Amino acid sequence: MQLLKDKVVFLTGGTEGIGYECAKTYHKAGAKVSIITHKEDSLKNCRMQFFNDDIHYILADVSKPVDVNRAITETLGRFGKIDVIHNNAGVSNPSKTVCDTTDEEWDKVFNVNVKGIYHTTKYGIAALKETKGTILNTGSLVGDIGQELHAAYTATKGAVNALTKSMALDYAPFGIRVNAVAPAGVWTPMLRRWSNQQPNAAHIEHYLDEIHPLGYCPEGDVVADACLFLVSEHARFITGCILPVSGGAELGYRRYMDQPSAKDGIVLPVNSKAK
């Protein structure tokens, strides 16, 4: 059964990592997908692997209102409607405390991770009202539990959680649902490159497996499957939900004595999402 047959998905950050897995999953489920990225090389590489008449690529920066307005207009011109806006684009840098974060770094992570959602909603809400569509935000488990040396990033993901719930209330009268997924560790090309560069790559892999009570760090397809559920009619009475896709990483007391930490000079990548 194609859960998104004849639906149109506007997906930001869709050429790498979790976003790319979502793009493939949505398309397999019957959707036409407009994939937005600000990375020209990534767009070209993705297009070579994943392309047909139901996939449309747009080079745009979600932090820039003119770019987002153009991308929404272009998607409507190509496919005629928008049923789903999935705000997946995001950045995780800098890996710093609040005091060490510069004004420019702080503004960049908020402009992409939070203001990007503001832009897609502002310019896409009229289309969603027409289709009684849905909005999905990619959050992170750290938005609830925090993480050392990622103060700005975790602040944005906490904001995404609150924004998701407020938007769910604001747009429910129009039949529009708004939800978020909150992954923990996820194997993506970015995370694999990072782990292979560490002095003890095997230890890193063991650590990433062990933070999840289910016993392994997953691939991006597990997040994509959860996203597919939330944007489909199977979730038609779910809104304002922050769905952990974490293998239980938030449960119990799981700080291991041998885990890498800031004191060891190791800063773990947040949420493991390549954008």
Residues tagged active-site: 153
Which among 101, 114, 136 has a CA at the least distance from the CA of 26? 136
| Residue in the structure block whose two tokens are 């407020």 | 166
End-to-end CA distance of the chain: give it in Å, rounded: 29
How far apart CA 26 and CA 124 sit, in angstroms, is 19
Starting at the earlier edge strand, list the strands of the sheet with 8-12. Answer: 55-59, 32-37, 8-12, 84-87, 134-138, 177-183, 242-245
Which among 157, 121, 161, 122 has a CA at the least distance from the CA of 142? 157
Written as one string, the DSSP assignment of 97-133 is: -TTT--HHHHHHHHHHHTHHHHHHHHHHHHHHHHHT-
Per-position b or e across 35-55, b if 16+ CB within 10 A of its CB: bbbbbeebbeebeeebeeeeb
CA 104 to chain centre: 22
How far apart CA 31 and CA 14 sit, in angstroms, is 14
Q: Classify 12 as helix, strand or coil.
A: strand
- Residues in contact with 152: Cβ distance below 8 Å, sequence separation at least 6, in sequence order: 94, 96, 98, 101, 105, 106, 109, 110
DSSP state of 251: S
Q: Classify 16 as helix, strand or coil.
A: coil
